[in-house]
Amino acid sequence: MIRPSDILAEGRALLALPASQRTEARRRTIISRAYYAAFHFLRAHPCSQDYRKSGNTAAGMHRQFITFLATQSDRRVVYAADLLKTIYENRVMADYHIGRDILPDLERRSVEDADYIMCEIFD
């Protein structure tokens, strides 16, 4: 069993590699780790205790979850939804659009956004 912070730690470890070893595949992996760390953190957070996945919508699970968070009244949760959506979009670019270049530094920003969700917003 692992915790969301373990997933983020793996992303950070890859991010700490010298630039020469941070291949494009690793950069994309870092972005993916950052997203799933933040996603699982928020799934386990009390703010999402009322979340239920619906089968009555065309949206996938991730967008459904982001929508749930975005429509809560607690502004901290809305801000977390906004950042999670940003990392989600980065992850879509990293994992699905492999024929397109990703922005320089996108992996570092993704880790920082995940870290901000997990360590700052709810403190």
Establish if 92 lies at the interface with other proteins (CB under 8 A). Answer: yes
Span interacting with other proteins, options 10-18, 30-38, 40-48, 101-109, rule CB under 8 A: 101-109
User: CA-to-CA distance for 104 and 1, rounded, in angstroms?
Assistant: 33
Establish if 93 lies at the interface with other proteins (CB under 8 A). Answer: yes
Establish if 116 lies at the interface with other proteins (CB under 8 A). Answer: yes
Contact between residue 92 and residue 28 where contact means Cβ atoms under 8 Å apart? no
- Of the two residues 41 and 65, which places its CB atom closer to other proteins in the complex? 65
**Which residues lie below 8 Å from residue 50, measured CB to CB, with a gap of 6+?**
none
How many Cβ atoms are within 10 Å of 26's Cβ, its own excluded?
A: 15
Contact between residue 27 and residue 107 where contact means Cβ atoms under 8 Å apart? yes
Binding mask 27-66 toward other proteins (x if CB under 8 A, else -) reads -------------------------------xxx-xx--x
User: CA-to-CA distance for 45 and 23, rounded, in angstroms?
Assistant: 33
Residues of the shown chain interacting with other proteins in the complex, contacts defined by CB under 8 A: 58-60, 62-63, 66-67, 69-73, 75, 78-79, 81-83, 85-86, 88-89, 92-93, 96-97, 100-105, 109, 112, 116
